[in-house]
Amino acid sequence: MTTAQVALFDEESDALQTLSRIKGVAPEVLLHEAVESYLGLHETGPRLVVIRSARGIWSEHRDLLPLTELRREWGRREVE
């Protein structure tokens, strides 16, 4: 694992420390999770190719709830 220094504004550092206490994990763990999440959103490598190739694999199934209904069950807003 590579070590990296991160410069944070005071407000960011305070929020990180607060969240660290609330979740009971080290700030470094939260930063690692944040970087991992960010990189996952912006991935362009082989994993993205696999994910995109899976698009539509459920299109033939007629026993599935509509996406809007699933989102409502999950408590998520609809994407416009």
Q: From CA 71, how far away is CA 77, in angstroms rounded?
A: 7
pLDDT in tens, the chain (80 residues): 888 999 999 999 999 999 999 999 999 999 999 998 888 777 777 877 877 888 888 778 888 888 788 888 887 665 65
In the prediction, which pLDDT does 69 show? 83
The token pair at 75 is 């408590």
What is the domain partition of the chain in residue ranges?
10-74
Q: Give every CB contact of residue 26 below 8 A, 6+ residues apart in sequence.
A: 20
Q: Provide the pLDDT for residue 8.
A: 95
Residue 71 CB contacts under 8 Å (≥ 6 apart), including other chains: 77, 78
Of 7, 21, 40, residue with least CA distance to 29: 21
Residue 57 has which token pair?
């694999």
Give the pLDDT score at 13.
96
The Cα–Cα gap between 6 and 65 comes to: 44
Q: What is the pTM of this model?
A: 0.54
